Amino acid sequence: MDMRPVSRTILVAGGAGFIGSHLCTALLAQGHKVICLDSFQTGRHENVAALTEHPNFQLIEADVEQLPEVRERLDRVYNLASPASPPAYQADPVRTMMTNVVGTNNLLALAEAKGARLLQASTSEVYGDPEVHPQPEGYTGHVNCNGPRACYDEGKRAAEALCYDYLRADRVDVRVARIFNTYGPHMQCDDGRIVSNFICQALSDQPMTIYGTGEQTRSFCYVTDMVDGLMALMELGETPDAPVNIGNPGEFTILKLAELIRKVAPTDARPEFHPLPKDDPKRRRPDITRAKALLGWAPRVPLEEGLKKTVPWFAEALGRTEPASNR
């Protein structure tokens, strides 16, 4: 029997972003051909610079809303194309909604035409400000459909609806991952999310900006654990008939996160309290019973360990962007 691993052609929409760039790297390492399609709205060339020399890597600069013709055969499509940080997705909310609805529909149609399987990067934001804790996939959520987060939350909810319409009609083999807060190298200092904000503030001795009292919670997953979970869901033999939460159930207040980051990146930065943004969820923690049972997957990197891998990467990135006179 031929035991060589299968080499597939895989399109990663949003592949130049934070999670997407790690996914492209992991897929190339498994011997697959990777086509990274990205508009660079929030992604960066730097994230995939090391991959561009790889013979199995191809980069297409395009928007999923105006998908170009893809001539290659495709076996798999990962849809990660969407801004993910609240300031980024709120900067052009109509575009965010359209990226998630029109873009996802375009990728589903492409997957159908190619006979490819599609994994949709959904989000814990579909649960909104949850009244059920921790959040299992069966919880239908508590989302404000006309607030400032709605462009993203409702865009992702509509994208899930599209995915299951294609699946029920037997048009595309679809898998939906509900991703919880993820962190690691390749996030951007100015992207506005909590882990990158705190690390960059600590490293540059700037005040650490705490929104509200800091007693709200999040559960943080290290990026390599996330990529392993996404790939396991994509390659699962049987198609699950419902979404799967992928995240780390370790739950931390924002104050505790600040304390941990100060431990890993000793700093003179002091806390600075700011108003809590509207509709900011109070608690968030994934119930990963389904991921464990279906995929045999569970996160392996605890928060403090993940921060120890992340801080040096940011220190180097900050060094690179320092004015030449300071180097």
Residues that bind ligand NAD (CB under 6 A): 13-14, 16-20, 38-43, 63-65, 80-84, 99, 103, 121, 123, 179, 181-182
- Contact of residue 92 among ligand UDP, ligand NAD, none (CB under 5-8 Å per partner type): none
Q: Is 277 an interacting residue with respect to ligand UDP (CB under 6 A)? A: yes
- Contact of residue 217 among ligand NAD, ligand UDP, none (CB under 5-8 Å per partner type): none
Q: Is 218 an interacting residue with respect to ligand UDP (CB under 6 A)? A: yes
Q: Report how far residue 147's alpha carbon sits from residue 265's, in angstroms, rounded to the nearest whole number.
A: 35
Q: Which is nearer to ligand NAD, 14 or 299 (CB)?
A: 14
Q: Report how far residue 89's alpha carbon sits from residue 83's, in angstroms, rounded to the nearest whole number.
A: 5
- Contact of residue 200 among ligand UDP, ligand NAD, none (CB under 5-8 Å per partner type): none
- Contact of residue 210 among ligand NAD, ligand UDP, none (CB under 5-8 Å per partner type): ligand UDP
Q: Report how far residue 304's alpha carbon sits from residue 325's, in angstroms, rounded to the nearest whole number.
A: 34
Catalytic residue among 152, 166, 183, 222: 152
Q: Is 187 an interacting residue with respect to ligand UDP (CB under 6 A)? A: no
Q: Is 42 an interacting residue with respect to ligand UDP (CB under 6 A)? A: no
Residue 152 designated active-site: yes
Please give the C-alpha separations between residue 201 and each of 189, 192, 197, 213, 215, in angstroms, as whole numbers. Answer: 9, 11, 6, 18, 19
With CB under 6 A as the contact rule, the residue among 193, 283, 285, 290 that binds ligand UDP is 193
Nearest in space to 299 (alpha carbons), one of 195, 181, 196, 185: 181
Q: Report how far residue 286's alpha carbon sits from residue 71's, in angstroms, rounded to the nearest whole number.
A: 39
Q: Which is nearer to ligand UDP, 9 or 122 (CB)?
A: 122
Least distance from ligand NAD to the Cβ atom of residue 145, Å: 18
With CB under 6 A as the contact rule, the residue among 30, 90, 144, 209 that binds ligand UDP is 209
Nearest in space to 210 (alpha carbons), one of 157, 257, 252, 161: 257
Q: Which amino acid is at 239?
A: T
Q: Is 86 an interacting residue with respect to ligand UDP (CB under 6 A)? A: yes
Please give the C-alpha separations between residue 286 and each of 244, 291, 296, in angstroms, as whole numbers. Answer: 10, 10, 16
CA dihedral sign, ordered 265, 83, 94, 234: negative
Could you tell me the two tokens for 190?
Answer: 């100015």
Which active-site residues does the annotation give?
A: 152
What is the contact surface with ligand UDP in residues (CB under 6 A)? 85-86, 181, 193-194, 197, 209-211, 216, 218, 254, 277, 280
